[in-house]
Chains A and B, each alone.
Chain A
């Protein structure tokens, strides 16, 4: 940030009532206090619950125990749900990336009208509730012939109810790709738009074919946006509840749904808290950890 004349000669010298950093903290105070009270403190208490014991009566208190975490790791059923979650999150982020790249390129480099239309169609679902979008997929993937996909296929002569996707892991992947695609496209498009176009032109003028210029210049320079998109989509998919609950069925049980069951069906708060801690850990590792590694890597070069 440049130090402007305003900062050096302006407000501070004319009105030396309060130290400048104190004014800053006063302006920040309400937002920070709100966040501390209603996000940080509750999250820490919830984390605390994960190592406490729940009595028969439902009271949560000492002694400290890692029993909930132990059950998470040792129980085959929990492990299977954890693996489903990681698998769905992985496939969702990879598929979302493949679908997002052409969209991001059209937004960043396309003709103005194409770019605008693409941007609108990408952002519009972002402001439509995930309930509505997942419901749409229930209708599209329906397993009998009233599902749109099956209806289409049978109209094309594939026979009645030829695909059974609803209530499988793939249904969760398809719907999750749809839900989180904008969050992959936006950082990618931002990253692509920042690439200096003369680099590409220079490569082309020196005789590189378009695909090579893409592979050697555009793709590597878009990696920051690519990583940002992958981490956000991976961590949000891993912690999602609505989509697996609505299209996953029993075979597509994920950690978010399991967590909800712990609260509303088993009333096991320590277990729910342990699951929450695992999901937050996944989110933090994906976002903060990967971001830090990537930054170090790029600075090293």
Chain B
């Protein structure tokens, strides 16, 4: 494979890719650079070097609250999507379910439907049901957006399972549950873990669902950040943003270590 990008054409491809990666990294790098600025405003160029904004942000109670809301919400949504999505993906792969293709498309449909509208539909529905607890409403909405990630990664992992190993175990006298736990599960665990990690990040970063369903008391981090941006103009915004960038980088490293990014993204 290594030889397929060679010669002048290959160099051109590498150059264009490198230029695009600068475009990809630039806005994030600017945010991080300004988070260490001693200036009173988050404006370019940064002045001096200080970690004071980080100290201020970490000590900020509203930030702590929003962070806890986001982490708990993401954990709860991921765990629930796991509980709903793993059996569903397993059934789609292993059982002769009537209309399996339709059902799979339905389970993955939150991918293609605009999330802004999914959130609005849910807001209107939960209001009509007289459900006023923002924490519960956010939880339902976040399960909705994380579920398809679990379904997709588990389905992809199951397709890669070596069926001959399962057959060998069965032939050697293993009971079906033993085959499942000792042969199938170990093969799909990394894929499922990657799916969970990705689902966690999708929930942690979500704006459109939380925008409709959150309230002043239960405000996830992206909503808190968005509302701070129109009120606060000092570099503490860039410090909060940098912490979110750091979380994202850690997640990508996690995915790379778990299964390799290309497999995690089915590339």
Contact = CB atoms under 8 A, between A and B. Distances in A.
Interface of A: 2, 4-6, 9-11, 14-15, 20-21, 23-28, 30-32, 34-35, 38-43, 45-46, 49, 99-100, 102-103, 105-112, 114-116, 118-125, 127-133, 135-137, 139-140, 142, 146-148, 151, 178, 181, 186, 189-190, 193, 197, 200, 210-211, 214, 232, 235-236, 238-242, 246, 256, 259-260, 263, 269, 272, 276, 279-280, 283-284, 287-288
Interface residues of B, number: 102
Nearest to B212: A263
A189 B112 contact: no
A102 B16 contact: yes
A15 B208 contact: no
B163 interface: yes
Give the interface SS of chain B, mostly helix, strand, loop or mixed: helix
26 contacts: A11-B176, A21-B95, A28-B92, A31-B88, A34-B144, A42-B124, A43-B113, A46-B124, A99-B20, A105-B17, A108-B267, A119-B261, A119-B267, A121-B21, A124-B249, A128-B245, A129-B204, A129-B225, A130-B222, A131-B226, A142-B44, A146-B44, A235-B114, A239-B114, A272-B120, A287-B112
Contacts of B245: 128, 132
A47 to B, nearest CB: 9
A35 to B, nearest CB: 6
Contacts of A127: 198, 201-202, 205, 247-248, 251-252
A189 B44 contact: no
Give the interface SS of chain A, mostly helix, strand, loop or mixed: helix
B93 to A, nearest CB: 9
Contact of A259 (B25, B120, B171, B247): B120
Interface of B: 1-2, 4-5, 7-10, 13-14, 16-17, 20-21, 23-28, 30-31, 34, 41-45, 83-85, 87-88, 90-92, 94-98, 103, 106-107, 109-110, 112-114, 116-118, 120-122, 124-125, 128, 140-141, 143-144, 147, 151, 163, 166-167, 170-171, 176, 179, 198, 201-202, 204-208, 211, 221-222, 225-226, 229, 237-238, 241, 244-245, 247-249, 251-252, 255-256, 261-262, 265-267
